[in-house]
Structures are given as C-alpha cells and as structure tokens.
Structure 1
Amino acid sequence: MDIFKVLTRGTNIKSNSINKNYTKTTKKSSIEEDKELDFFHNQTKKNTSSNDHVEDEIIENEDISMKELLVRNHFNGKLIYNIDNHLLNVDKPTEIQSKSIKLSIESENTDVVGISPTGTGKTLAFMIPLISKIIMNSNDSNMNSLQSIIIAPTNDLAKQIFQVTENIVQGIVLNHKQNSKSNCKLEAQLLNSKLSNKLLFENVNNVKMPQILISTPKRLISALNKENTDVILEHLKVFVIDEFDQLFSNDFIKQTEKLLSLLDDRQHVNKWMYSATKPDERVFNNIMKKHMNKPELIECKYSSKLTSNIVKPKITESLVFVGNEQGKLLQLRQLQQNSQFIPPMLIFLESHSRCMALYNELKYNSIPMATLHSKMSINEREKVINEFKEGKVWVIITTDIMARGLDINGIRTIINYDIPKNKELYIHRLGRVGRGLTSYNTRGNKKIECECITLYSKIDAKDVIPIAKVMKQHGAEGIPDWLVEGRVRENKNKKDDKKMKREKISTVPGIIRKERRMKKEMIDASRKRKQEGIVRPEKKQKKI
C-alpha cells in the first residue's frame, strides 16, 4: 500500500479531524485509492485510551522506523516524505528524537530541556515537533507571520540548522483546507543583513516574514528595536535555543538573557533548549526558574548504539604527555610516520594565531590541509568545509568554532593539540568523530575504528585532570590513576606559575631562535636611534 499517496492528497493528517473526514472520498478517486483510504482510516478508528496505548508502544519500540513512527502518529504527510527522501542517515529514531516526539504528542504546550550526547540527532528532535506545531496551529491570521525562532552560538551552526530545515519544509503548505480563504508555503530563513535592514528601516507590517527564523543571538538582537519587537513577536509560538550550555556561558549569557526577557510576558511562547552538556548548575537552575514554566527534562545517556541496528565505530581515546610545545610537533611527526595520521582529521587549538603557526609548520608535509577560525569570513569558512566534505582537504586545523554542532560525516581522527578548557568542551570535540560511520565498511570485512588523541604538557597539569576522568568513564585504557585522582604536584612559588606560558609553535632549535631575536633587537635599536637623531660615535682606528 502506498501510504504517501494517501497522505499527500491535499490534506493534513491530524488526530482530531481524522475520524470526521475519513469517509468523505471524491468521485474522481479511483477504487484502489478508496480502498487505501478505507484501510488507513480503519486503523485509526479506535477509542482514546487504546490510541494512547498504541502510541506509547510505537515510541518505545526500538525496531520501529522514523517513517512508521511519524505515519502512525498522524504527522503531516509531506513532512514525512521530506524526512524519508531528503535526509541521509535517518532510519530509526534515536532516544532523544523518540522522547521529543512523544512529548509533543502528549503535551502540546510545554517548555522542554533536552540533553543528549553529540551525534544523536538533536536538530531533528526539536525540528519535527516544531514544524508539526506550526502546521497544526496555522490559520488565516498567523500563517504569514513569524511563528518560531531558533538561535545558535555560531553562524556555521545556524546555517547548518537552516539547511536541514530547508530540506524538510519544502512543499509543505499551511492552512490547506477546503474552507480556508488562503494558504501559503511554509518557509524557513536565515537572518541576514538584508532582512535585518528591512525590519529596522521599513514598515514591519509590509515585510514578508518566514514562519521559521534562524539566527545567532547578536544578529537577532540587532534586528529588534522598541518599534518592531511587538509586531515581530506577536504570533511567536516556539523559541528554540540550540547548544544552550554555550549560550548560557559568560560569552553569550547577556545576549541570551536579553532575548528571553522579551518573551517573559508572552505566556503562549514555548521555550525549548537542547544541548549535549549542561551549563553551570547554578546558572542553569536560575534560568529555568526565571524564564521557563515547569519545563520537561529529557536527558539521554551515551550509548554505542545510535538506533536499534546502527552501531557506531569504536572510538579510542588516548592521553599523551609530550613535555613541551616542541614535543607536540614531534608527536605529530611520529603519528604520521607510524601511519596513525588517518584523515579526515580535525586538529584543535586554543587560538587562531596558533592555528596559523601550526599550519605553517605542517603545510609542506604533502597532506592537503587548511585552517578554519573566527578571523576568517563566512564565505571562506564555507569554502573550507565544502572542500573538506568533498575530500579536497584532508586535515582542518581549527579552533573550538568547529567543536559544536557541525555535522560532518566520516571524520576518523581528532587531535587535541591544545587541551580543552573544560570537560564539556572535550565532549563536544569528541562528538565530531565517527559521525555517519558504522563499525564495519560497506563490504563488512574491515573494522572501522576512530581515534581521539589529547596532547598535554607541563603547563596543562591542572586542566588535564577533568579530561582524564571523562576518558576513564568512557573506558579509555592507559589513563593513570594518580591523574584521575588529581594527585598533581603544585608549584608553591607563584612566580613560577606566571613564567609557565605556552611557547610558540616552532620546530626551529632554541639557539637559532635566540640568534634571530638578538638580530631583530639590534635592527630595531638602530632604527630607533636614527629616528631620534642620535649619531653613534665612530670607532677610533688603531694606528699601525
């Protein structure tokens, strides 16, 4: 039976209206289509209690596919078709997706906090209920208005969310009923400078708004002012915060608080927050108490199985002591010689200047590599990511701008050249590896393994302790107990701590660097004397 032929015949399948309209078939319908309609609607002809029981069984059943889950729970047919045909690696729902869909069915208006490991499909977990909510609640008065806002910490992540959303909303028509006066297509848009200028300098009532708007917090705040805020947010139903742990950090918390304060008086707006890790407990509890109304917490633990039959490849986590900065470079050379330098690969550093320094040291190794950091333009970053996906670039040397949310399939190796600042950041970096891979290749005869290598030196002695604990929890081998227990020798002399600064990345021997520095100082001193007009006395010639 072609169920999509039934679902996409110009009607939106809703649990409330399905029993009333299922017997109405047009004369133009063929006998086969009528039989399909009868078959489909007869399956839904049950009392409320039995329906709830069946829905619970469907969601809890691990063997059910995403397509079947959405069909049996009466989600929009075009939405199901788009997910099934336009998204890769969506076979069976993950735990976070199943629980989010179940919650959207049971309680339509509620705040949600979703916490699930990286790579478990959190974007789809909030996007499916979001689109379904817009479809079900659209009418003649609000269908051309902004109904949901999604914010993300970086432009790259916001664009990725937009690309996923664009794929699954195509062809969906809002308010598509026989008695409706008008209808329109469901649209998603990335907030850009063109739309921002229209909102700021034109009459907002004349600006065509998408139903779903995706942005970073700073850009969204810049597009709102006292005159246009009430009009823009008038029909808003859902406000989604992706990677909320980062948006509640010191870098973003003022911006996030400002946006949430605009919604405090709007009781009809649901707030959904998703991330792989929690922020600081005190900050998190304060935000929930201040800005959310009895939120439902969905917390999923890490599992080697993404779904019932898709097993992630084995990820080996290792911790390597290298002594100093030169030791890190030597370790990279050794990995390359021992055939452990397996692309596609990401190398994480703490700043863009260190990224460029490492790139300059490695660019002559006959390995296609590139850098990606916040000082690059959006177009430059997009070009690097596209070349990485196409296989033109094998290694990306980057900062933590790539640590969160970016969904790039096939990454085999992660190297933490500079140790992460905290364990949450380590988890996010680790989450980039192994996406879209299974434990065996397509022929099933070669086991695929991934690796995450963390390098640390003397100055990382304190920062490595929480990282070592996380590795131990993940079952990593070779992690010393004294490091996990935090038995690290501390310097009593505070002056020594100040001297412990991270050295520059260079393979040039220390004696040569010293000579270069002295030569540069002499040249600078000579230029300074010339500018000040100081003439150096000539040396007296010795008489022969």
Structure 2
Amino acid sequence: MDAFGILTKSGTFFNKKKFANDIDLFDSQRRDGAEGQSTQLPKDLDFFGDLKTSADKGKRREKPKAEQATDEVAAYSPPSQEEANRMRKQMQVNVTDNAQPPLRSVQELQSALKFEKYLMRNLSFLDQLTPVQAQGIPLACSDRDVLAVAPTGSGKTLAYLLPLLHTLGEPKKEGFRAVIVSPTRELAQQIRNELARVGVGRRWRVSILSKANQATMKADPATRSKHDILISTPLRLKHAIETGEVDLSNVRHLILDEADRLLEMGFVDQVDTIVGACSHPSVRKSLFTATLPASVEEIAQNILRLPVRMIVGRKDAAAQGVQQKLMYVGREDGKLLAVRQLVQEGQMKPPVLIFVQSVERANELFNELVYDGVRVDVIHGERSAAQRDEVIKQFRRGDVWVLIATDVLARGIDVQAINLVLNYDFPQSPASYVHRVGRTGRAGRIGQAITFFTNDDAPYLKSVVNVMKSSGCEVPEWMLKLKKPSSNQRKALKKRPIEREAVHEAAGTKVGRDDVKKHKQLVNASKRRKVAGESGTRGEPSGAAGNGSASDASE
C-alpha cells in the first residue's frame, strides 16, 4: 500500500458531500447532531476506524439519561462516607475536603444539586460524568474556592461551566457577574461555544473581550450592564481594567482556565491585576489546570481563599487514553526522514497535530511538507486572528489533514478526533509535554503521541519518561535509569529552547525538498511522454513539468 499516495492523491478527489458524516467528526460544534447514517469507505481511507456499518442502520438511539431525568426527578439519597471514598478511589480522585460527595450519575445533577430543567435538556448528549465532573461540579457549586487538576480532554470545561450557570441562576442587568480567563483567544472562543451549547433556554449575554467591544464599553458605559459573563485573555483584560473600560467590582465568579499557563511568570502581573479588580467580598475563585508545578501551586494558594484541592489521576500525568512513544532520530536531519517513514508505514493517519518549538520552525516544516504533497497548514501567533480561525475550521472539516502548531497556540485546539500528536521538537517542560499530548485521546477516544528526540535532547529525556510512567505507559528499563536533569538545566530549557539546525538546512543534507521536487518532475515528465506517445501528439515544452509539479504540490 502506498500510504503516501493515499495522503496526496485521495485528498484531491475527496467528496465532501458523499463523506459528510465522516467530516462531521472533525467539527465539535456539529458532532452531536450527526447520527444514524453511514458511508462505506475503502479501508485505506478509514482514517477514524470507527465508521458506522450498515448493521447500525435503523437502530434507534436510546434516550440519554440526562434527557430521561428532566420530567421525573428521583429522590436523592447521598452516598455514605465509605461509599464516597470508594467512588473516589475508583475514579482516582483525591480531594482535601470530603464534605462534598461525588455524583453517581448525570441525573443527580438535578436530584442532588437541583439543576434547572433547561440545563438538563441541554445535557442530553451526556451519558455519564467524567471523574473531574462527578467530583468537581459539587465542589464548584459549594461556597468554596477550588483548585482542580485533571488531564487535558477530561471534561474540565463543563466541570466549571455547569456550576457557573446553575449558581448565576438567570440573566440580570447588573454588569459582569462572572469572568473566565484563558491564555489564548482560540480557547476563549471554544469556551463561549460550549456556553452557547449548554446555555440554550436562557438568554445569557456572554462577551469575549475584543478591541471592538472595548471601544463600545468605553464610549457607552451603560452597555456594561448588558452582559453576564466575560471571557478574555489576561493582557487584554488587564488593559481594559486599567483604562476603565470594564468594571469587575460586581463579579461573583472568577475562573482561571489553563491556570498553569496563566500563573507562569509572563502572566502573573496580569492575573494579579484581574484578581484585584474582582473586589466583591463574596467572589469565588476557581483554578482549573492539567498540570500543577510547585511554583504554580504556591502562587495559586496566594490567590485562593481556603481552597479545596482536587486532583484527578496523577499530578502532571497525561490521560490514560493516549498511547505514548519516544523515537530516537539522531540529529535534526533524521526528523524529516522519520516523518516520511511514518507516512509510508501508515502511522500518519489524519488528523495529525505536529508541535515545534518556534514560529520559524513551524513555517520551515510547513514548506517541507507542502513539497511532499501533504494537506498541511500551520497555526501560530504571527498569523492573524481571522487566519487562525479559518485554519481551525479547515482542520475540523478535514480539509487540512496535518496541522503544525507551537505550544502557545496548542491550548486553543480542541478537535475531538485527532488521531496522532507528533512532537517534532522535544517539549521544553513536562507541563508542555502533558498539554501537547493531551490534544489527542479526548472524550474517551484512544490517541497516539510520538516524541522525537535527538542527541541534544538526551539530557532532558527523563522528564518526559517520568510523565509516561505516571500515565501508565510501558517504558524501557534503561530509560527509567536515566539521570534526571538538574534544576539549572530545567530552568534553562524552560527559559530558552535548544538551538537547532533550521529545518530546511537539515533537509538539504539528506532528504531535502529539492530531491522530492526533482523526483516529482521526472515522474510527471514520464507520464506526459507516455500520454503523448499514445495519442501521437507532441509533448509540452520543457519547463512545464517544473511549473506543473510546483502547482500541484501547493494546492
């Protein structure tokens, strides 16, 4: 099987209308409505491995438990302390306060916590609660500050959005009553989309802070009272506070999503300003994160008031649904060769997310893969917001099969069906590794993560090995015996990544795009000569092959 040919040639004739159901797997905003239809595909094109067969046709979808619970509410009987502890052990949940027992089912959102019917109707897609939701929602509904640590893709967003809407009750014209801070604009948009989905039935007024609405609020302060929930990145919100464009004195709920990133040194001053502006005496603060380094936990404890801490699984561990693998590539020139081998072996099944350490390297790798004919695009901070939005949409639709990203933008990419995460460049910290590989294996799916490492990365290998071990992955014994990087080494790597040979320079030594381009030109020229010979017509002028090849590769 020519897997490389499948990635290129088959993509050219991809029939979106015929395979609409499969494309929907990319689109998190539409995925819940697609059901009951199927299309048979050749085995080589079954990227997701979970297409419905003809045997599934005609099956009636069983009414979800949340939907069944809205009309008749069963009496709630709280679990005993012994049962609650047993549930936590089974879910691998640790809490510092046992006062709030975990929920046993979706129905208990209504029977135990008195969730409104509109919320329960909007949760018809939810068959069961994840551990962070089962324990986190009762905690967030209590009058306590919360510090929650759970793997990426484990359902943290719903774990704080549902209690938020429940405790706010209904829209009011009192100004912002809740603020959600996220490290990236893309993540902020995803939070808003999730709010729109679960908030149907109430006219919640949710605003993402932008230049446009900042100017409006400054020109007409009365518009501030027309919003209930504000979502923003820290720098923009800090600026709006300092210029008097927003007033957070009435905020009752402050939520920091991806708190490990927000409490890093670059954001601490901004977060401090935001926390200070939320001056209402009864404000409740919640921090949700996938990793919790000691330095971040220390800052978090200073922000929160007598918080209850919840940890799902092992701290600083990846989700158990991710199959993790380390791959030695020697030097930088071995990375592209390894990528092409993965393609030929059929391991690069779309959709694929590739991580690099800088914008420059993202662009360089993009140029190399484009010449390989791969449906690839790149997302990083130097692209405009509109460009980034369009790239994400194309990735979800399946128009883009391989997406190259940097760490900063990684936290805004939430595509449920990502099959493979490839760490082309070694991550700068265990937290970075956890967030990268957490882009796959989401919502109960099985995902794969492959991390390249070179001779230059060897001193830092043990930090990733520890995460893999904590996540339940099998790790060779010799890796477990590796020496840990020193404190100074870790700090240096986190501050500045390893200096690497440029991607295009490394490619030029062994497997550069010039060789690939020349090979394609020869193949295309051979095809034209064959066609010309059969038809008795003259071939195209020399030079057309080069132009045709470049044009085909860039489509």
- TM exceeding 0.5: yes
Q: Which of 195, 198, 202 does residue 165 from structure 1 map onto?
A: 195
Q: What is the rounded CA distance, in whole Å, between the counterparts of 1:313 and 1:352 in structure 2?
A: 30
Aligned length: 417
Partner of 1:69: 109
Residue identity in the other structure for 1:339: G
Is the contact made by 1:468 and 1:484 (CA closer than 8 Å) also made in structure 2?
Answer: no
Q: What is the rounded CA distance, in whole Å, between the counterparts of 1:320 and 1:227 in structure 2?
A: 52
Is the contact made by 2:335 and 2:424 (CA closer than 8 Å) also made in structure 1?
Answer: yes
Q: What is the rounded CA distance, in whole Å, between the counterparts of 2:144 and 2:113 in structure 1?
A: 19
Instruction: Give a deviation string over 1:416-468, Cα, whole Å, max 9, x none.
Output: 00000011111111111122454xxxxxxxxxx53211111122122222012
Aligned pair 1:224/2:241, yes or no? yes
Aligned pair 1:288/2:301, yes or no? yes
Cα pair distance change 1:159/1:463, threshold 3 Å: same
Aligned pair 1:80/2:94, yes or no? no
Cα pair distance change 1:503/1:162, threshold 3 Å: same
Structure 1, unmatched stretches of 5+, are: 1-35, 45-49, 173-184, 307-311, 439-448, 490-497, 514-544
Cα pair distance change 1:478/1:151, threshold 3 Å: closer
Aligned pair 1:300/2:312, yes or no? yes
Cα pair distance change 1:405/1:512, threshold 3 Å: closer
Q: What is the rounded CA distance, in whole Å, between the counterparts of 2:230 and 2:297 in structure 1?
A: 25
Cα pair distance change 1:482/1:406, threshold 3 Å: closer
Higher mean displacement: 238-247 or 331-340: 331-340
Partner of 2:169: 135
Is the contact made by 2:465 and 2:479 (CA closer than 8 Å) also made in structure 1?
Answer: no
Partner of 1:99: 135
Q: Which of 380, 383, 387 does residue 380 from structure 1 map onto?
A: 387
Instruction: Give a deviation string over 1:383-432, Cα, whole Å, max 9, x none.
Output: 11111111111100111134325321111111100000011111111111
Q: What is the rounded CA distance, in whole Å, between the counterparts of 2:341 and 2:72 in structure 1?
A: 62
Q: How does 1:111-130 map to 2 (within 5 A)?
A: 111-130=145-164
Larger Rg belongs to: 1
Cα pair distance change 1:366/1:193, threshold 3 Å: same
Structure 1 position 127, deviation (Å):
0.5
Aligned pair 1:412/2:419, yes or no? yes
Partner of 2:178: 148
Is the contact made by 1:187 and 1:211 (CA closer than 8 Å) also made in structure 2?
Answer: yes
Partner of 1:252: 267
SS of 2:265 mapped into structure 1: coil
SS of 1:317 mapped into structure 2: strand
Cα pair distance change 1:201/1:269, threshold 3 Å: same
Residue identity in the other structure for 1:126: Y
Q: How does 1:25-36 map to 2 (within 5 A)?
A: none
Q: What is the rounded CA distance, in whole Å, between the counterparts of 1:480 and 1:293 in structure 2?
A: 43
Q: How does 1:133-532 map to 2 (within 5 A)?
A: 133-135=167-169, 143-172=173-202, 185-202=203-220, 204-225=221-242, 227=244, 232-263=247-278, 265-279=279-293, 281-289=294-302, 291-301=303-313, 315-404=322-411, 406-436=413-443, 438=445, 450-477=447-474, 479-482=476-479, 484-486=481-483, 501-506=499-504, 507-509=507-509
Is the contact made by 1:58 and 1:69 (CA closer than 8 Å) also made in structure 2?
Answer: no
Structure 1 position 277, deviation (Å):
0.6
Instruction: Give a deviation string over 1:55-81, Cα, whole Å, max 9, x none.
Output: 998995999542453355321111111
Q: What is the rounded CA distance, in whole Å, between the counterparts of 1:52 and 1:65 in structure 2?
A: 12
SS of 2:427 mapped into structure 1: coil
Higher mean displacement: 220-229 or 315-324: 220-229
Is the contact made by 1:322 and 1:328 (CA closer than 8 Å) also made in structure 2?
Answer: yes
Is the contact made by 1:459 and 1:501 (CA closer than 8 Å) also made in structure 2?
Answer: no
Is the contact made by 1:466 and 1:484 (CA closer than 8 Å) also made in structure 2?
Answer: no
Cα pair distance change 1:333/1:93, threshold 3 Å: same
Structure 1 position 52, deviation (Å):
5.0
Residue identity in the other structure for 1:463: Y
Q: What is the rounded CA distance, in whole Å, between the counterparts of 1:511 and 1:349 in structure 2?
A: 19
Instruction: Give a deviation string over 1:1-46, Cα, whole Å, max 9, x none.
Output: xxxxxxxxxxxxxxxxxxxxxxxxxxxxxxxxxxx99x958x65xx
Structure 2, unmatched stretches of 5+, are: 1-67, 92-102, 487-495, 514-555
Q: What is the rounded CA distance, in whole Å, between the counterparts of 1:470 and 1:301 in structure 2?
A: 12
Instruction: Give a deviation string over 1:234-258, Cα, whole Å, max 9, x none.
Output: 3211000000000011221111112
Is the contact made by 2:253 and 2:283 (CA closer than 8 Å) also made in structure 1?
Answer: yes
Q: What is the rounded CA distance, in whole Å, between the counterparts of 2:131 and 2:174 in structure 1?
A: 34
Structure 1 position 510, deviation (Å):
8.1
Is the contact made by 1:313 and 1:450 (CA closer than 8 Å) also made in structure 2?
Answer: no
Q: What is the rounded CA distance, in whole Å, between the counterparts of 2:157 and 2:475 in structure 1?
A: 35
Residue identity in the other structure for 1:123: T
Q: What is the rounded CA distance, in whole Å, between the counterparts of 2:356 and 2:160 in structure 1?
A: 31
Is the contact made by 1:113 and 1:295 (CA closer than 8 Å) also made in structure 2?
Answer: yes
SS of 1:502 mapped into structure 2: coil
SS of 1:66 mapped into structure 2: coil
Q: What is the rounded CA distance, in whole Å, between the counterparts of 1:213 and 1:366 in structure 2?
A: 42
Residue identity in the other structure for 2:307: P
TM-score if structure 1 supplies the norm length?
0.70
Partner of 1:536: none
% of aligned pairs identical? 30
Partner of 1:182: none
Q: C-alpha root-mean-square deviation of aligned residues, in Å?
A: 3.4
Residue identity in the other structure for 2:454: S
Q: What is the rounded CA distance, in whole Å, between the counterparts of 1:340 and 1:201 in structure 2?
A: 55
Cα pair distance change 1:234/1:258, threshold 3 Å: closer
Structure 1 position 302, deviation (Å):
5.6
Structure 1 position 339, deviation (Å):
1.6
